[in-house]
Each structure stands twice: as structure tokens, then as C-alpha cells.
Chain A
């Protein structure tokens, strides 16, 4: 990892008796894109606003390159921010909006114009430079907002659900564009979202937040394959919950013994194994432990819905080629691929 550009240590923010942030620690390396992912109300916006200086922490510190910026007002922090709702200045056109940060920094008129056009070009909107907010679509407005936030080469780019007000197709395009632009400019970025697909697909690392804390922070694939706890497992990707019987350090799941890898203090009587659909092995067998309920074709992959002989249901995911021989009512043997599960108390 590169040197840390941003460090939050023990940041706490209370609103009356609600802890919006509860002793939050976070480190973001230079040039890195970290997503803050979590359900609504978990404190993502509050974290971003404290980093930007638009809100104050009750406790804890915010450091940029090792130096505390807690005393620095928002306008001296050199951070580019894109908001969830539209935030362009309605009295300025796209070019003037993008140039605003440079104007505040005393750049000359010519410099401002050149840089604004350079940035509008990057977001593909140079031909709309003279347009005002009300003449731009939602996606275009967010592009201009992005150009505006990048124009003055901020130390940090802060994006607060910039895509959530856009329709699905624009959202997917803009997501890829933001990532490409972020890599190209090398801007250290924090991307706030409640959409796990968005977070997983565009980040170097994802910080899953819950109740004002970071539940786990890791690379997307690590997060997906080895979630630290049930919350992360449930929030990222699809997850089956399959009953498990504990005996000693082993758990019995789908009639085979797996290593329970306990990390809880007292051993529970009841437990569940959290298993990804693609970690379930399905082989046709005349007197197997499960039956095929239905099959859903999803292009290259298919989802196969299964029910065990004990009567609980779960999904398996496999390539459509593999699923071609499976039909409703078929008897199959199901097992869990080694290591790809998490056993937690029920």
C-alpha cells in the first residue's frame, strides 16, 4: 500500500443520543478509491461531511498526509465533493461552474477557461460548456459536478452517492467513467454508496459500514469470499443460510462435517452456515440429499433452486452448461466446496 493520504482515527459524531459515527477508523492510501458501503443511516454521509469539513467530529481526528486538518475550515481543505442531489450553481453555465474552484484560488481568466474545457472534455461535455443547469440532464449535471470537483486538482475526491438519482443505464455508464477518470487523474477518492454492486465493481477497497462503524474493509474479492461477519456476508452478494449442527470444533452442514472456525466465546447450540450460491456443488444422484425445484436461466450463468430432504431451500449458481442436465424434480447430491462458507450462531 502507498503512503496514507487520509486517516480517520476514533472519529465519533453524536446527534443527541444517536451515534452517527462510533469510533470510526479508516485509512486511505494515495491514489486509492475506497467505497464506503452500507445501509441508509449507517453514517456514510456524516463521515464524508466530517472529512470535507462541513461537519465536526465530537471526538477523534482527521489527518491528511499525517497532519491534522480538524482546525481547517471546509474552504481551505482542498477537497472536491460531488453531492447526491444536484448542486451546480444555477446562475453559472457549465464552464463557469467547472472554473469556480480555480476562480477561488485566483487563477487567471485564460487558465480557468482552458482548464474548464480540459475537464469538460474529459467528462465528454465540452460541447455543452455554455449550458446552464436547467438545460442539462441529471447525468450531465453530475458529470459537470465531477469536472468541477476535479478541476482544481483536489487532494481528495469525495463522492456522496453521485449516481443514486440517475436511471440504471446512465448510472452504469457513469460508474465506469468515474473509475476510469479516477485512475487517469490518480485522485485519491472516497465513494459513498448503498449499492453493493457499485461499490464492488469500482473500488480498490470496500469499507462496509454498519451503525457508525466499519464492519470490514478489504478488497472486493476478499470481502466477497471471506466476509468477517454475518452482516458483511449478507450485505455483499447473495448468501444462503443453511442450518448447521455444532459438535466440538466441527459443524455438520448438508450431511458433511466442516471446520466451524468459531470466533465466538460460548459455543451455540444452533448455528447456520452462510454459503454463496456458487460455492454449492450439485451432482446428479438417484438417491441424493436434495431435489431440484426450478432452474432460472440468466445468460452465461443459471440459478438452480434446491430443497433438501429435510425441507429447507437454497440456491446454487453454476454455468448454464453445467445446469443444462438438471430438471425440476431431479434428485441430486449437494455439498459445500471446501473453505467457502462461514458458520455463525443462528
Chain B
């Protein structure tokens, strides 16, 4: 055990207060979601209610697939772009940064109307178009996470070192660049997943149904059930992210620090 230093005290206090601020409502909501008004006790009734609802699995799956697709789209688009920008001082960087900021500036409503008026029919009638929309919405966050992470490693020097040591371009990318940027890419993936799973406005404006819109519809008929659903969504997203995090863990922190 490390000694707790006095200097850390304000930090601990702040963390505790912040923790309480988050955990207290969460705890209350959780407790509330287990109540059974008829018997006055606690039980799983509210959870059973939505779990057994006919469309529960269907919409959960749709949301999951859309989120994963959005993350996949951004991965393919952003990783090569960000790596390339960080390998050389390219003149296009300001332009790319401007593009990635656009989704923050354009209102979601404008995006929705744009999609409805200018997308071809096959895209209007296919739910998969949402994956691309989510990718657009998550773009600013995903790009910034990626770029900040990549700037923290001297990618250019490292790749040049690898080539000097005998690695061709392919091996440099697979054996050096990929492991080095993995945790950063992962962080940016999380961002996209979390944003996509919780997206409501655009989905609803475009009249599609996903888990979030389904939850909203369901809540209107059963307030305790709605709270149970929210608690479930929170836990589910948390478990999902945790799972991916454990699945691909950054390597550089595995070594135990030895003493001199």
C-alpha cells in the first residue's frame, strides 16, 4: 500500500464528492427500478417487463449493429488519415481539422433535412444509412481523440527507426505502428460506440427505430419500467466498453516497475 500524501487530500475530496454526485442518483434509480408498487416490496418485475417485450432483442441488436458499423466506418476513414497527417507535416491538416469540426457546427436538424432531401432512394429506405449518420456525428470526437493520442508518440521517428532496422513498410505498419496506436484507436472507437448507442435526435427525426427510440416509446406507458430500462442501458454500455477494453489492452503498461 502506498501512503496517502497530504498533497493528494484535496484531490481525494474532490473525487469523493464527484463520485457521490454520480453514484447517488444512479443508486437511487437502481433502487427505484427494483420496486414493485403492487406488493410494496422489491423484485425483478420491471426488468421482466421490458425483457419480455416482443421487440426488445430486435432493437437492441439493431442499435448494436449500427454502432459497430459507425465505429468501423470511422476506423477505416480516420486511422489512415490521422496516421498520415502525423507522419509528415502535411499542409492539408488545417483542412482536415475544419472538416472534422463541421458536424459540431451544423445542427442535427439541418443534417436530417439534408439527408431526407438529397440522399438517393435506396439510402432513404435502408436503415443502414444511420450508421453513416452516426459516423458523421461522432467524427469530431473520434478524430480529436485519435489525433491527440497520435501526437503524443513520435510516430515519424519511430517508423523511420523501424525502417532503418530492417522493417519494410508493411511490417512497419503491422508490427510497429499498429501496436503503438492501438490504445488510441480503441479510445476513439469507444467514443464512437458510446455516442452511436445513445443517439436519439437524428434517429427520431429520420423516423427510424433503434433501441433509444424504442426505450422512449416504451417509457410512456410504464415509468418504473422506463427507469429499469435506463439502468439496464447504462450497465450494458458499460459492460460492452469494459469488455472491448479488456479484449484489446494496451501493452506498454504491463511491465511492473522495478526498483533501481
Contacts and interface: CB of A to CB of B under 8 A. Distances in A.
B207 to A, nearest CB: 46
B118 to A, nearest CB: 42
Contact of B154 (A80, A85, A100, A134): A85
Contacts of A89: 158, 161-162, 176, 180
Nearest to A133: B252
A74 interface: yes
Interface in A158-205: none
Interface stretch (B4-12, B40-48, B166-174, B234-242): B166-174
B255 A148 contact: no
Given A89-B180, A105-B166, A132 B157 contact: no
B166 A75 contact: yes
Given A85-B154, A89-B176, A91-B251, A52 B168 contact: no
Given A85-B154, A91-B179, A131-B258, A101 B166 contact: yes
Nearest to A158: B164
B86 to A, nearest CB: 14
B165 A85 contact: no
A133 B257 CA distance: 11
B223 interface: no
Interface string A107-148: 000000000000000000000101111110000000001001
A90 B180 contact: yes
A322 interface: no
B257 A148 contact: no
A293 to B, nearest CB: 49
B20 interface: no
A231 interface: no
A152 B257 contact: no
B255 A79 contact: no
B151 interface: no
B153 interface: yes
A80 B164 contact: yes
B189 to A, nearest CB: 18
B252 A75 contact: no
Contacts of A101: 165-166
B164 A131 contact: no
Chain A CB count within 10 A is highest, among B162, B164, B179, B252, for B164
A83 interface: yes
A134 B252 contact: yes
A307 B16 CA distance: 72
B163 A74 contact: yes
Contacts of A131: 255, 258
Nearest to B161: A87
Q: What interface size band does chain A fall in? A: 35 or more
Contact of B168 (A73, A87, A135, A149): A73
Contacts of B255: 93, 130-132, 135
A1 interface: no
B251 A75 contact: no
Interface in A20-49: none
A23 B196 CA distance: 58
Contacts of A85: 154, 157
B97 interface: no
A235 to B, nearest CB: 28
Contact of A78 (B166, B251, B252, B257): B166
Contacts of B158: 87, 89-90
A75 B179 contact: no
Given A79-B164, A104-B165, A86 B176 contact: no
A109 to B, nearest CB: 15
A148 B160 contact: no
Contacts of A100: 162, 165, 167
A52 B164 CA distance: 7
A261 to B, nearest CB: 45
Chain B CB count within 10 A is highest, among A52, A91, A133, for A91
Interface in A64-100: 73-81, 83, 85-91, 93, 100
A87 B157 contact: yes
A222 interface: no
Given A52-B164, A79-B164, A101-B166, A91 B180 contact: yes
Contacts of A285: none
B164 A74 contact: yes
B77 to A, nearest CB: 24
A54 interface: yes
Contacts of B153: 90
Contacts of B250: 91
Nearest to B176: A89
A104 B154 CA distance: 21
29 contacts: A53-B164, A54-B163, A54-B164, A74-B164, A75-B164, A76-B166, A80-B164, A81-B161, A83-B161, A85-B154, A85-B157, A86-B157, A87-B154, A87-B157, A87-B158, A89-B158, A89-B176, A89-B180, A90-B158, A90-B180, A91-B182, A104-B165, A104-B167, A104-B171, A132-B252, A132-B255, A134-B252, A149-B164, A149-B165
Question: Can you list the 10 inter-chain pairs with the closest CB atoms, starting with the nearest?
Answer: A104-B166, A101-B165, A74-B163, A91-B179, A87-B161, A81-B164, A87-B157, A91-B251, A75-B163, A75-B168
Given A100-B162, A148-B161, 13 more contacts: A54-B160, A54-B163, A74-B160, A75-B166, A76-B166, A81-B160, A91-B251, A104-B165, A104-B167, A132-B255, A135-B258, A148-B165, A149-B164
Interface of B: 153-154, 157-158, 160-168, 171, 176, 179-180, 182, 250-252, 255, 257-258
